[in-house]
Amino acid sequence: QVQLVESGGGLVQAGGSLRLSCVASGNKFRIDAMGWYRQAPGKQRELVATISRTGTTNYADSMKGRVTISRDDAKNTVYLQMGSLKPEDTGVYYCKITIYRDYWGQGTQVTVSS
């Protein structure tokens, strides 16, 4: 069974940086799309960034220029490098991969203090 494990979240001051990682295991086929989503308290889950199997990326307008998504297929891993973090970036960040259907991780908490 496919399992996703996110890591790299934590507490950071405004203006700081974090790198999130998501490692997939148990997949029998190569991962198609990979992405990161976040959910702030009281808000809907929203797109942060996605990356296709060919490397095409898409970013939320609110985070363009501050985040970079990348993938390492040999390691079944997707990364999210975040910089210039703002308090409004606080939330639970979820990894999602697609292999014929979507699989979600449990999420990792990111807290940005002012």
Digit-coded pLDDT (tens) for 26-46: 998 999 999 999 999 999 999
- Predicted local confidence at residue 64, as pLDDT: 87
Structure tokens at 64: 């363009």
pLDDT tens for 49-107 read: 999 999 999 999 999 899 999 999 999 999 999 999 999 999 999 999 999 999 999 99
Under 8 Å CB-to-CB from 113, ≥6 apart: which residues?
Answer: 11, 12, 13, 14, 87
- In sequence order, what are the residues at sequence separation of 6 or more whose Cβ sits closer than 8 angstroms to the Cβ of residue 98? 31, 32, 33, 34
The conformational region for residue 106 under phi > 0 = left, psi -120 to 50 = alpha, else beta, is alpha
Question: Residue 44 has what pLDDT?
Answer: 97
Number of residues that make up the chain: 114
